[in-house]
Amino acid sequence: MNTHPSDELALGPVSKRKPSTAMNLSLFLPGLGQVYCGALGRGLLHLCAITALIAVVVFLLSTQSAPPKTIFITFAILTIIPTAYSAWDARRMALASREDYRLKDYNCLSVYVALIFLTLPLLTGLAFSVRENFLHIFAMSGSSMSPTFDEGDRIFVRKDSYLDRQPEHNDLVAFLNPANRRQTWVKRVIALPGDVLEIKAGIVHLNGAAIKEVSGVQLDKINLSPMTIPDHHCYVLGDNRANSRDSRQIGPVPMIALVGKAVSWR
């Protein structure tokens, strides 16, 4: 029995599904390759699943005190594997599709673009949320923290570190320069509220006793008269004392100015 031309038009034109196209679409956006192969529900399931997984992974990892390297590796594993599976599944569906596959109403560029533009804002929002609330990356400038951090080093700042607690002695903290809040500085916490601080020929004394400096700290010969650190403030110094502008010049740093705890990639 011959198919009437009007019936063929109603069913949609014939267009064999290409495995490479299906795979690449799902690599770009998981689920898009499945939609391309005519499985709208399956494609939306893949898309929703990977988006939800990314959201959960970002939330869980960002609230843990794991090193940034561990966070990034875990995030990569838990997102790359589902994406690779989605691409493999889309390729398999394309290979299994019939030669006379007829295009569905949603097999068009406008639908593919719409799915992309509906998803990208969500993923962008997740990335922005991480940057604003959990983990921020910026480049170190100057040599005030050498050899701990050198100029150009990428610094990872955990913004959630001091939400419910104050820093500890020797913490590396990022804070907004009270004199210019557009500048973010990284220094080491030396003294906390209530501590009595004194510096004698470069040797830091805390509550009457010389402290044990962290390995690598480069001392100078500066003196500082005894002072008590006020409430809600901390006293910070650079690790390269002779080339550091810190609390010796700007005074104790208000806790409210702390951006978070600075950590290395390791």
Catalytic residue among 144, 146, 161, 247: 144
**Which token pair is 156?**
């990872």
Cα separation values, 120 from 42, 54, 116, 149, Å: 19, 13, 6, 35
Catalytic residue among 26, 187, 247, 261: 187
Q: Determine the Cα–Cα distance for residues 93 and 107; give it in Å rounded to an integer.
A: 15
* E strand segments, the chain: 135-139, 154-158, 172-177, 180-191, 196-200, 203-206, 209-210, 224-228, 233-237, 253-254, 258-263
- Is residue 261 flagged as an active site residue? no
Question: Are the C-beta atoms of 26 and 32 separated by less than 8 Å?
Answer: yes
- Is residue 16 flagged as an active site residue? no
Q: Give me the active site residues, please.
A: 144, 187
